[in-house]
Amino acid sequence: MRLPRIPRPTGLRARLVITFTLVAVGAALLVATIGYELAKSALVSRAETTALDVVTRELSSITFPVGKLRPGEAPPSQRDLQRVAHALSGPGRSVFVEYRNMVAAEGPLSMSDVPNELHGRAKQSVVTQRKIIRDELYLIVGAEVYRANAGVPEATGLRAFAFFPLHDDEAQLATLRNALTRTSIVIVLIALVVALLSARQVLLPVRRLSAAAQALGEGRLDTRLPVHGQDELAGLTARFNDAAAALELSVAELRSLEAMSRRFVADVSHELRTPLTAMTAVADMLFEEADHLPEAPAEAVRLVLREIERLRELVEHLIEVSRFDAGTATLNLEPVNVADSIADCLEVRGWSDQVTVKASQGLTAHLDPSRFDVIVANLVGNALKHGLPPVLVSARATENGLEVKVRDHGKGIPHEALPHVFDRFFKAGAGRARSQGSGLGLAIARSNVLLHGGTISVRPQTPGTLFTVWLPHS
């Protein structure tokens, strides 16, 4: 069974707080551990020193003869050993004094509780050992009494073993351990609060920079930040202000150039309308006479007529685009019979015989009729120019708007060109560079859809291409 993966913190604030807290926890544990070990060592050392002093003092005070007896000396009795044991005893202690075949005891423990190793080492010097006996920790001190014989210390065979209970020292260590634990918890909590406050203080300029960057992204190019101090964040803030000022200047220049370009396009387009009107009138006359001219002049006339029509369409599209760019395009909404509007659009342009329409006769929507006509005309015209029949137009009411679909059955648009079909002057494929059309029809259709608050999309079909327009209820 795989355990769920715990996500790692990614925020700078979280990482700062976690790092600061971990350092505080590590430092608190280190200090508590060192303090505890020092206190433990001191208590153990004190207990051993006290025990050794007691045993050494009492054994040194023995007055009866032991070991190799001299003339006139009597061997010690059981009572003598018992007095030594009683002198070594104390609260909670157990004492054993052995001499040859005699043993004197004080306390609840027995001689079998003396470790064999300690019993053997006690013949040579004063020794100690800690041992848990019956769930209680004792410090065992063992020593043999030496007697000077001709100035040379000589072992007497009298050995004493004292069991000193360490429960008071353990209680002190437990109290110290609890105090250190509580202190460590308090230190960690204080460190956590300090980490949160420090992280907030450190990240405040970062959050301000983030908010300022967002404001720049939203177009508020006059956004600036106050510079406080001379640290790295202050330098970063100053550089941000410099970058924002440079960006504002660059964008202002670009907007000025764009406005000039739009005015130029609009002015040129309007200036071209007058000669185009005259050229169109002459073209209509030439069209009527083209059939009576010889073949070569007639073909030249037809070519001129096609290019005049293309130029007229381009100028009309440029004028429409300039209105959208200038923000002067407006909506004039009114109830529209969708089926009749589509039929009128096709009939005016002579496309009725080339397009199949599927729309309920009672379907109505609140639209700008002229702009809806432009949307349908540009989509159907694109399908007729660049696709293959049959071209299908369908319209239906949805839950919250009107959906219109236009599909052709041609080769379709290349996959890599789909994201750009609504770009101005975009033509899919090098072979279409001189094809009919201005390259602005779909861009104008999209602008009119957006003006209605709707959406437009394109998807490849097998075969052909499908354009879908959705216009909301107004």
- Tell me the average pLDDT across 267-284: 67
Is residue 393 predicted with pLDDT exceeding 90? yes
List pLDDT tens digits, range 238-265. 888 888 888 888 888 877 777 676 666 6
The amino acid at residue 427 is: K
Per-residue pLDDT, 471? 93
Segment 462-474 shows an average pLDDT of 89
CA 161 from centre of chain:
68
For residues 195 and 178, which has the higher predicted lDDT (pLDDT)?
A: 178
The CATH number of the structural domain formed by 330-472 is: 3.30.565.10
Determine the pLDDT at residue 155. Answer: 84
Binned at pLDDT 50, 70 and 90, residue 69 comes out as confident
Residue 2 has pLDDT above 60, yes or no: no
Report the distance separating Cα 249 and Cα 256, nearest Å.
11
pLDDT tier for residue 6 given thresholds of 50, 70 and 90: low
pLDDT exceeds 60 at position 79: yes
The pLDDT assigned to 206 comes to: 77
Average pLDDT over residues 270-295: 69
Q: Which amino acid is it at 187? A: I
Give the pair of three-digit tokens for residue 43: 């208590």
Taking the C-alpha atoms of residue 345 and residue 376, their distance in angstroms, rounded to an integer, is: 7
Can you give the pLDDT at residue 319? 66
**What residue spans define the domains of the chain?**
12-173, 233-324, 330-472
Assigned CATH for 233-324: 1.10.287.130
Alpha carbon 226 to its chain centroid, in Å, reads 28
**pLDDT for position 226:** 85
**Predicted pLDDT at 434:** 46
C-alpha span between 147 and 156 (Å, rounded): 6
Reported pTM: 0.45
> Before 335, cis peptide (omega within 30)?
no
Average pLDDT for residues 345-358, to the nearest whole number? 91
Q: pLDDT for 169-186, tens place per residue?
A: 888 888 988 988 888 888
Instruction: Give DSSP secondary structure letters for 338-361.
Output: HHHHHHHHHHHTT-GGGEEEEE-T
Residue 294 has pLDDT above 70, yes or no: yes
Average pLDDT of the residues in 148-172: 85
Task: Tell me which of 48-57, 155-164, 298-307, 384-393 is least confident.
Answer: 298-307
**C-alpha distance from residue 285 to each of 295, 296, 297, 474 (Å):** 17, 18, 14, 45
pLDDT surpasses 70 at 287: no
Q: Is 271 exposed, middle or buried (0-12, 13-18, 19+ CB in 10 A)?
A: exposed
The Cα diameter of the chain in Å comes to 172
Q: Among candidates 346, 433, 420, 436, which has minimal Cα distance to 387?
A: 436
61 falls in which pLDDT band (50, 70, 90)? Answer: confident
CATH annotation of 12-173: 3.30.450
